Structure formats: structure tokens, C-alpha cells
Amino acid sequence: MGDIIAFDLGASSGRALLGRLVDGKIEITELHRFSNDPVQVGERLHWDILRLYHEIKQGLLIAKNQGIDVQSIGIDSWAVDFGFIGKNGELVGNPYHYRDRHTEDAMEQLFAQIPASVIFGKTGIQFLQFNTIFQLFALKQANSPWLQEGNRFLMIPDLLRYFLTGDMHNEFSNATTTQLFNPIKGDWDEDLLKLLDFPKSWFGDVLQPGSKAGMLQASVCEELGMKSIPVYAVAEHDTGSAVAAVPATDCSFAYLSCGTWSLMGTEVQKPAINDLAQKLNFTNEGGVEGTYRLLKNIMGLWILQECRREWERAGKSYAFPELVQMAGVAKPFGAFIDPDDSMFLAPGDMPARITQYCLQTGQQAPESVGEIVRCILESLAMKYRFVFEMTERLSTQKFNGLHMVGGGIQNTLLCQWSANAIGKPVWAGPSEGSAIGNLAVQWIAQGVFKDIWEARQVIRDSFPLATYEPEEQELWAEAYGQFTKLTGIAE
């Protein structure tokens, strides 16, 4: 069976994973791992897109030098961010990072022109200040030269594919996250584009996951000394790939893709675009084989990552297992935060912000490192219960438990506390969900698997699951009441 590569780009790092099938099971090998560091230039925060492209080529070069006969590749990444290609075929400007502050007032300004209900009714996408629609609106308000010189709009994986192949396409799962795509019509919403004065010509044809999106172009093959190979459009939003890798056996399942961001929801055949979905601020993002991911974003382990960076700046370096160990022995339920409060979105001094939040909500702020970490992890677990129950309500389903995938499942304390919070089992695995889902879609495209359900069964057979049964349910139920009251998130 031919070897394939998944390039999986996260908000802090990227990796090239080699996938092969051996005796009916998936084997993965990490060929290359690299950091993905945002770059601050003046007031703007950017992605280093050309460095990411360089690292992708390094991954291909490593495979070639190891004598690996690569049959195809696919790329997945975070959503919403993008670049423009000019009429000369070159990149216009360096893509902004979604945490850049240029969209801070964009939502309110845009809603003054187009009601939120109109936008949600056309797209079914939850409102987050960094969504593509608000980024483009902010650029237009600032008279950005990008919009004057740009000829084609490409999201991050689209852009990297273009560099590799010379072909420009937009991919379905990522296109839906822009809040400019109409899932009922199955295309960019022309009425919305007209209202925003965004030329339809910016937006190209939308490929479904599993479509062939080009071949490595001659200049890349010459540079790397390798043959041309197919590049597939996978589920290029990394959450779409992660959900493809959920090893569920029942079509009714709940998932949590856990990493820098936490994304919780379920897979549905049709988008849920209604008043309740808008009220709960859920989103309908494209998935594999025409499905939709009815889900909600949760801030995730970003807060812990930023705390760790702040402690490092102060000369105190902690490994993540060390932080988890300290949290495990700290006093339980000492304080709670709402992880999705806007004060935790931008980079900065998270320990100080946690203190500020606790004081503003009448709580005693955690002081020690262990207390702070415990506050973050317990609050995440509580928020998971809140969103889990909203997912059941909106989808009119009852779930037997929760599938957790992604790098965050290495935090066994968070997995156990999530089970405690929801009062149901948590099944954790695989940890490399996005990359494995990327590989699975490539194999489906090549006819190796007949569909996503066969792929999920092979994934289940290939990667063992860790099961966490709920414990101390009465204590956690009582603490959940305190969490909802203190954070004010209860309806």
C-alpha cells in the first residue's frame, strides 16, 4: 500500500506525518515537526506563511531522502485566516493572525449595516470577532491595499496548495468557516457578498474533501529533486479532519477536539440554521462526505499555554506534565473562570487576567501555580458540560458519552475531570486526530476505504482508546452549579 503524508498545521506547531497501512491497520510516523510562531510587526500580528511553506518542502525532502515513495499529500490547518493572490500570481501581503486586534470593533460596525440574524440565516456560522467576514470587513474599513490589489482569496491550506501546485481552489470545510458560504445553496452567498461589496471573483470554485486539487508543479519537483505527486483537498479545517478521525461506531456521537482550541459538537447531515442555534451561538461547519459539524468553539488550552509562557518570561520554566501534577494536588473548586470571556482571547499575562476575572466575580483568586492550573482545567471541564448539554438540546439527541481527540487528551487529568463534569464516559483517542483524519480522506479518495465509516473502524482498530468513567458525581454536580452562577453563563 502506498505511503501518503498529512501536513497538519496547528496554531503553535506543524508536523508532517507519514501514513501507511500494514495488515489492515494504520501506522503513522512523524517525519518532521516545526514551530509555528506568529510574528509581531508594529501593531499587526502575522502568520509566517513562507516559513510554513518552507517547512512543508522540508517534510517532502525528508521523505525523499529516506527513500519513501510518497503517493499523495494533504494539508489541514486552523480556519478563518487567509491571503490574497494578486493579478501577477504573487502573494499580496502577509496573512494576519486571527488574534490580531484589527477586528476588535468590526462585529458591531458590520451589524449596524447587516443584522446578525441575516448573516446567520444565510451562513449558519457562529459569531466570533475573528471570523473571516469580520477580518475582510475590517480591511475594507481600513482601505487596505490587499483588497485593491488582491485578485483571488485563498485560505491558509488553499494558499499553501497554490504554492505547491500553481492551482487555485477553495476547499469546502474551510470555506464554510468564513461566514460567507451558504450551506443551503452550496456556494458562496452572492447576496451577502453584494451587501459587503466583496467581488464574487475573489472566491473560487469550492472543492469537497477528497477532491484532487493539483499536482506538485515542475519548479517544486526540480527544487526538491522528486517526482510530481497528487495534492488532495482533504477536510482542510483541522477540526474537520479531527472529526473525520473520531472512532465512533454510532452515527449519533458527540466529540471534543481538544488542543489550543476546544471544539465540541456532533456530526449532522443537514445544517441547523434556526433561532435556537443562533441564540446558543452554535456553528454549522462543513465536514467530510457532505456532512456538517454542528459545534461550538471553546477557548481551550490556549489559556494554560499563555500562563506557561508568562511564567517562562518570569524565569520559571514548567513542563506541561509538571503543571498537571501540581494541579492534581491543589485544592479543588477554589475558583472558576469562563474560558470564553473576551479577556482571555488575546496573548498576554493570563495569570493576571485570571486574578482580575476572579476579583470581578467576587471570588478569591488562585495564587499558586497549581491553583491557577487547576482553576483553568476545572473551568474547561465545566464549560464542556455546559456545551455538551447545549449540543444535546440543539441536535435533539442524547449521547452515551464523549469522544475526545487531539493533543489535549495527553492531559489525563482534563480527560477525567471532563468525564466527572458531564457524568458520562469519555473515550480519548487518537491524539493525532487531525493528521489521521487527513490521511483517511486521502485513502478514501484513492479507493482504499469505501467511505468515512470504514475509515473510522480502521482507526478504532489501529489506535487504542482510553476510557474515563465519571467519578465523584455529586461533588462535581454541586460545583457545576457554582460555576454557572459565578460565571453568569446559565440561561
- pTM of the predicted model, to two decimals? 0.95
Active site residues: 238
Is residue 424 within 8 Å of 233, Cβ to Cβ? Answer: no
Query: DSSP state, 77?
Result: B
Of 3.30.420.40, 3.40.50.2300, 3.40.710.10, 3.30.450.20, the CATH number of 3-238 is 3.30.420.40
| Residue 420, SS3 per DSSP | helix
Is residue 351 within 8 Å of 307, Cβ to Cβ? Answer: yes
pLDDT computed for residue 490 by the predictor:
76
The set of cell numbers assigned to 164 is: 505547491
Q: Which amino acid would we find at residue 406?
A: G
pLDDT computed for residue 323 by the predictor:
98
Per-residue pLDDT of the chain (491 residues; tens, 9 = 90+): 589 999 999 988 999 999 999 999 999 999 999 999 999 999 999 999 999 999 999 999 999 999 999 999 999 999 999 999 999 999 999 999 999 999 999 999 999 999 999 999 999 999 999 999 999 999 999 999 999 999 999 999 999 999 999 999 999 999 999 999 999 999 999 999 999 999 999 999 999 999 999 999 999 999 999 999 999 999 999 999 999 999 999 999 999 999 999 999 999 999 999 999 999 999 999 999 999 999 999 999 999 999 999 999 999 999 999 999 999 999 999 999 999 999 999 899 999 999 999 999 999 999 999 999 999 999 999 999 999 999 999 999 999 999 999 999 999 999 999 999 999 999 999 999 999 999 999 999 999 999 999 999 999 999 999 999 999 999 999 999 999 999 999 75
Q: Quick one: which H or E segment has residue 286?
A: strand 283-286
What is 246-429+449-491's CATH topology?
Answer: Nucleotidyltransferase; domain 5 (3.30.420)
Residue with cell 469522544: 403
Intervals of CATH 3.30.420.40 along the chain: 3-238, 246-429+449-491
Which residues make Cβ contacts (< 8 Å) with residue 220, sequence separation at least 6?
Answer: 57, 164
Alpha-carbon gap, residue 394 to 102, rounded angstroms: 33
Alpha-carbon gap, residue 327 to 318, rounded angstroms: 12
